[in-house]
Amino acid sequence: MHASPSTGFTELAWFKSSYSGGEGGECIEVAHAPTHVHVRDSKDMARTGLAVSPDSWSRFLRFAVQTQA
């Protein structure tokens, strides 16, 4: 997160999944905040994203990695 000098509003620093390709398709972006992890669809930013606790996000990632193995 970083603060915008013009507004003082804290903006989220989004990053794209390393599994997202450049061809479009299934892309998500994630931003970490002190109390939540935010997830959104990079192709449809008008749609409201998700905000989950860091613990929930960690559990989801462990599950995703296990299902890929």
Going by C-alpha positions, the residue among 16, 9, 56 that lies closest to residue 36 is: 56
- The Cα-based distances of 21 to 11, 18, 51, 55, 58 in angstroms read 25, 8, 23, 27, 23
Give the residue-averaged pLDDT of 37-56.
Answer: 89
State the chain's mean pLDDT as an integer.
Answer: 79
- Please, what's the b/e burial string for 38-51 (b: 16 or more CB within 10 A of its CB; e: otherwise)? bbbeeeeeeeebee
pLDDT cut 70: percent of the chain above it: 72
Residue 18 makes CB contacts below 8 A (sequence gap 6+) with none
